[in-house]
Structure 1
Amino acid sequence: MTARRSEAPATLALSSLAMAGVLLLPAAPATANPLAPWAPPPLNACGETGFDPLAREPNPDVPLPQPPAPDTTIHIQVPIPQFTPVPVPGPRQDNTRITPAPLPADPCVNPCPDIRNDQSPRPENLAPQHDPADPPEDSADSSGDPGTGDDAPAPQPAPEPTPAPRADSGSGGIQLPHIQIDQIPETVPIPIPGGDPQEPQPQPAPAIQPPAPAPVAAPVAPPALDSLALVNQVTGHGSTNRTDMRWSVDGTDLGIMWESKPGQIAVAFGDTFGKGWGPVGAGTPDQDWRSNSIAFSSNRDLSRGLRLDTFAQDSRCHAAEILSSRKVDNFEITTIPTSGFALNGRQYLTYMSVARWSRHKPGMWWTNLGGLAWSDDNGRTWTKSEWARWDNVFGLGRFQVMSMTPHHGYVYMFGTPNGRFGTIALARVPTDQVLNKSAYQYWIGDTWVPAIGPDDLLATPVVSGTAGELSVRFDKSTGQWQMLYLDLDRHAIVLRTAAEPQGAWTDPVTLVDSNDYPTTYGGYIHPWSRGKNLYFTMSAWNSYNVYLMHATLK
């Protein structure tokens, strides 16, 4: 087991929260176990410095920084509307792709020295962590509003804060707080005609499935964690894969995996940043921002790490954005993959269209919809389905962040509302009707109920508690279902198992404790995990990159 944090609560390193401020894990309660001993940052095979997400004692040879003087200023935020015209329907997806040249035989040779050199941000520049309950000073720009979409005006600097008169006490020499008015730019999207309409997609014929009662299976023996180890840093500077030099992926997260074809794993990432990015946290629009990207891997020996063979690329050494987004705050700020699977030679990807991130509540965001996209060229290019989508009506949609997996003639869809504070709902659809929303059935009570009316809003939670970022699969080696997700109540990435997708599910078992990895989130199972060896990707907010973890189960 890894060491646990002591004395102080686990804290998070924050940037301005631009674009990805949602990906924060609230501070965990203090425990009585010590921090891991200090260790120098890890090096990859090329001698490049990587990131260490483990909570460690400070370097004994470096003096501790002086604590900042207490801020006695009271900030009052006043939103200032910024009207932004947004052409509708907008531009088409850019499916420019290249066939990349083979990578150099020497992994330490940069394939594109004319594009990237070795002057990448250094992990030792990570800023000190602080309590996520404290809003960052630059939260005026933390909404995720980049203002840099093709149809958006150039970003304008926020107005200078307006200081209010300082109030001083009339006696006793007690100084009252200073009050400062902060004018916060707030994007107000204005839809206008324009753009390039997509090719219309034929509406699937109605395929209503009859109600089907089904029992809840008896609980299985709960799993138990024997050990946990970090195997390798998958992305970013100093990673095993050198993604910054090879594919201009300096910072990214998630790492959602599925077997795209025999012998190949697809790995989908969230918001991706390239040249110019540096820790802490997600980047800014001018740092080569792509809402998502996809890589492919074929190495079977996961004990040596998750090794990436290539990315889908739109130019030399540059990972492509595979699902477009408008990049306009309060309209569609980004489009993030949530799960993937292959079926009958076609790839499917679930995604969420994010309207905006929360400025003030870590772990909260608002979506427009959860949807499905497909690819018929093995994941190089993707098409969003016009019909297989679950709109977030009044913010109540239960299938906004989805995890889908095929099993015995059906594809099962587990879903949560936007954010990390919702329950887990369940639906299913025959494997030949994946893109036909009318063919879905929702688990309500003890029956699979056909998709008539707002049944997706009535789906019965399959487990107690709240969840974020689901990863669900059927494990053939054990004959059981496995569910991995971020549990904010336990401050951990947890595992549940069941004999049937509708349950009964075991109580959650902690795999990654945020006392050990204070900025962790995500948790996506590698499809080639077997038996007691569970491999999964994990993201860390402060380094904003992806790691492969190995949990050994008893």
Structure 2
Amino acid sequence: MGLLRSAPIPRSHLRTTSILAGAALLGLVCVKPTAAAPHPWAPAPVNSCGEVGFDPLAREPEPGSTPDPRPPTIQIPVPVPEFVPVPIPGPGPDNTRIEPEALPADPCANPCPDIRDAPKPTTPPPTTTTVPEGSQRSESTPPTTGEPNDAQPQSATPSAPAPPGGIALPSIEFHPDPEPIPVPVPGGEAPEPQPVPEPVYVPPAPAPLAAPVAPPRVENVRLVDQITGPGSGNRTDMRWQVDGTDLGVMWENRPGEVAVLFGDTFGKGWEPGGAGGADADWRSNVLGFSSDRDLSDGLTLDTFVQDSRCHAAELLNSRKIKNFEVTTIPTSGFAVGDRQYMTYMSINRWSRIPGMWWTNHGGIAWSDDNGRTWTKSQHAMWDNLFGIGRFQVATMVPHGDWVYMFGTPNGRMGVIGLARVPATEVLNKTAYQYWVAGNWVPASTPNELLATPLVLGTASELSIRYDQTSAEWQMVYLDAPAHQIVLRTAAEPQGTWSEPIPLVSTNDYPAAYGGFIHPWSTDRDLYFALSAWGSYNVYLMHATLNR
């Protein structure tokens, strides 16, 4: 999501069983479709201030450019054990907040020139990436976690000159790759214990599949605009020190306003090409707000939660230690009354396998001040014991008297499970029911693990909303084996869900992930946020649906 780390947002979806995971992985390896032809070359986009942005499409080389004749370099990491002291308990969250100042009347004037007023680069970054499709930063090539960025190769075999009519061989470099071994040591004061919720018994109830609905036809999908980063209309780099980020989880936090939640975020010092490092103002998550109702020309961000002038604040802190807690990634948000909720996943480590990661747990945090400060629940947590947790990457949607929780295991190769909880008991795990074999069954670890998959196949970065006009549910997610972001619809949250309808191909948008629906979408106009690993920023997409 991010997708989102010590490798790219992205993460490490596991499986409900090793057999399921193996089959999914084989599908990912063996079913890759024929790559589409690159789009014609086009110059990088420029915003109204003359700043160069990013083009996430796969494009042909610039006419007249000369390809690099040198063969590629193969980098081989060499694990180096490194003991890392980890204070337990760790530091508490920094809830320093300021009241944001109004932006300048001139949209091209920098609100904090004493902090950031650097000229924009004139050379756009490459529009393609070597990161495998469907991978994310926090999952495939994440930010550093106490590991040096400038580690030099210990040895290298230079490429040999190509013999006449022969092929030049790539050079081989060996890089030290610190592998932290966390060592708990005494830390600060423990956080104040939260009251344990009183056990609640919610009686079982039938939940049969509903009749399938006629799926819409996707007439057109277009890139509307770049939401974040250098060259975006929002100029998030100059205004809030958001140079590189991902995800863009959205929900209506109050009437007339939409909260926009981003994953691992980097500021000054970040360079295009994926997630940054600890020296690039790394924050695990940041939150912006938008009141823009006309999305046809892009999504305008009004402000961010800030901890200092022109600096977006980290909401949920993380230890940023590989093999302990690399980062804390938001996965969905919703409001019940005046209280805001956020689901998140605590990432233990990113995998060397693109699109895979390992979580400590999935959890819920809440805010009673419209998202300025957040508290992680000490009880609404789903542990990832032995890596088989089914609700590690959760998306929660309120509807009527219930809040529905759709979840997948860690990584991108898991199936979708479903649970529900009374809207008044979101933080009480005993009140949850899991959808198993056509029934809502009481909360328990076995029932959680036995939640019936909603659809065939694997899914990641779920985004789900209920459309009032059509009285249908819309689900958008990344189908990594198919190299597509797809849409499904259903009359009930448990389905029957329609067959997947392709929205975005990662052949067209290399290493794209996400697909987070704007809550003011309709049954005919579906707006969603798309992340691209190469530029590591977020874009607004528009799908026109024909019913």
Deviation for aligned residue 1:159: 7.6
> How far is the alpha carbon of 1:128 from its aligned partner?
5.9
Deviations 1:12-65, CA, capped at 9 Å, x for gaps: xxxx9746454999995335x6432221111111111111111222211x3232
Contact 1:53–1:519 under 8 Å retained in 2: no
Tell me the residue number matched to 1:10: none
Give distance in 2, aligned partners of 1:45 and 1:469.
Answer: 32
SS of match in other structure, 2:124? helix
Partner of 1:415: 407
Q: Quote the Cα distance in structure 2 between the aligned partners of 1:486 and 1:552.
A: 19
Among 288, 293, 297, the residue aligned to 2:290: 297
Which residue identity does 1:273 align to in structure 2? F
Q: Name 2:24's counterpart in structure 1.
A: none
State the match for 1:493 in structure 2: 485
Cα distance in 2, alignment partners of residues 529 and 174 from structure 1: 53
Alignment deviations for residues 323-347 of structure 1 (CA, whole Å, 9 cap, x no partner)? 0000000000000100000002100
Contact 2:345 2:359 in 1 (8 A): yes
Which residue pairs with 1:49 in the alignment? Answer: 52
From the superposition, tell whether residues 480 and 162 of structure 1 become closer, same or farther in structure 2 (CA, over 3 Å). Answer: same
How do 1:379-418 and structure 2 match up within 5 A?
A: 379-418=371-410
Instruction: Give CA deviations for 1:193-217 in whole Å, capped at 9, x if unaligned.
Output: 1123212100000002121112110
CA contact (8 A) 1:51 1:123 kept: no
Change (3 A) 1:406 1:175: closer
Q: Where does structure 1 lack aligned partners over 5 or more consecutive residues?
A: 1-15, 136-140, 149-154, 167-172
2:23 corresponds to: none
Q: Which residue of 1 aligns with 2:524?
A: 532
CA distance in 2, matches of 1:180, 1:58: 28
Residue type of the alignment partner of 1:55: A
Closer, same or farther: CA 451–131 of 1 in aligned 2, 3 Å: closer
For 2:124, the equivalent position in structure 1 comes to: 124
Residue identity (%): 62
CA contact (8 A) 1:123 1:543 kept: no
Once residues 486 and 54 of structure 1 are traced to their aligned partners in structure 2, the CA distance between those partners, rounded to angstroms, is 17
Q: TM-score, normalised by structure 1?
A: 0.88
In 1, the alpha carbon distance for the partners of 2:462 and 2:47 equals 30
Does the 8 Å CA contact 2:356/2:412 hold for their aligned counterparts? yes
Alignment correspondent of 1:69: 71
Find the residue that maps to 1:124 and give its secondary structure: coil
1:178 offset after TM fit, Å?
8.9
Long gaps (5+) in structure 2: 14-27, 160-165
Letter aligned with residue 94 of structure 1: D
Partner AA of 2:145 in structure 1: P
Cα distance change of structure 1 residues 283 and 121 upon mapping to structure 2, 3 Å threshold: farther
The structure-2 alpha-carbon separation of the partners of 1:256 and 1:177, relative to structure 1 and needing over 3 Å to count, comes to closer
Matches within 5 A, 1:21-36: 22=11, 29-31=33-35, 34-36=37-39
Structure 2: which amino acid aligns with 1:216?
A: L
2:181 equivalent among 176, 182, 188? 188
Q: Is the 8 A contact 2:398 2:423 kept in 1?
A: yes
Structure 2 Cα separation of the partners of residues 129 and 414 of structure 1: 31
- Whether contact under 8 Å (1:19, 1:333) holds in the other structure is no
Structure 1 window deviating more from structure 2 (38-47 vs 381-390): it is: 38-47
Check 1:97–1:387 CA distance in 2 against 1; reply closer, same or farther (3 A cut): same
Residues 156 and 548 of structure 1: is their aligned pair in 2 closer, same or farther, counting only changes over 3 Å?
closer
Matched, 1:549 2:541: yes
Render the CA deviation track for 1:465-487: whole Å, top value 9, x for unaligned. Answer: 00010001111121000100000
Could you report, residue by residue, the CA deviation over 1:106-138 in whole angstroms, capped at 9, with x for unpaired residues? 1110000000013345561338633639x9xxx
The answer to whether the Cα contact below 8 Å between 2:488 and 2:499 also exists between their aligned partners in 1 is yes
- How does 1:142-291 map onto structure 2 within 5 Å? 144-147=143-146, 155=148, 158=151, 161=154, 182-291=175-284
Q: For residue 81 of structure 1, what is the aligned residue in structure 2?
A: 81
Which residue is equivalent to 1:58? Answer: 61
Structure 1 residues 453 and 21: CA distance shift in structure 2, 3 A: closer
Give deviations 1:238-277, integer Å, cap 9, x for gaps: 0010000000000000000000000000000000000111
Partner Cα separation in structure 2 for residue 132 and residue 156 of structure 1: 21
Alpha-carbon contact 2:128-2:510 (below 8 Å) kept? no
Measured against aligned partners, the alpha-carbon deviations of 1:374-396 in whole angstroms (never above 9, x if no partner) come to 00000111000000010001000
Q: 1:120 to 1:84 in 2, by over 3 A?
A: farther
SS at match of 1:90: coil
After TM superposition, give the deviation of residue 70 of structure 1 in Å: 5.8
Q: Residues 128, 412 of structure 1: CA spacing in aligned structure 2 closer, same or farther, 3 A cutoff?
A: closer
Change (3 A) 1:131 1:337: closer
Does the 8 A contact of 2:408 with 2:460 survive in 1? yes
Would you say the 8 A contact 2:228–2:539 is kept in 1?
yes
Q: Residue 273 of structure 2 contacts residue 536 of structure 2 at CA under 8 Å; is this kept in 1? A: yes
Q: State the Cα deviation string for residues 290-335 of structure 1 (Å, max 9, x = none).
A: 0010000001111121100000000000000000000000000000
What residue in structure 1 maps to residue 16 of structure 2? none
Structure with more relative contact order (C-alpha pairs < 8 Å, separation 6 or more): 2
Tell me, in whole angstroms, the C-alpha distance in 1 between the residues paired with 2:448 and 2:252: 28
Say yes or no: does 1:38 pair with 2:31: no
Matches of 1:518 and 1:217, distance apart in 2: 36
Matched residue SS, 2:187: strand
Structure 2 residue identity aligned to 1:381: T
Q: How many residues align?
A: 516
How far residue 80 of structure 1 moved from its aligned partner, in angstroms, is 1.6
2:18 is matched with which residue?
A: none
| Pair 1:485–1:20, CA change in 2 (3 A) | closer
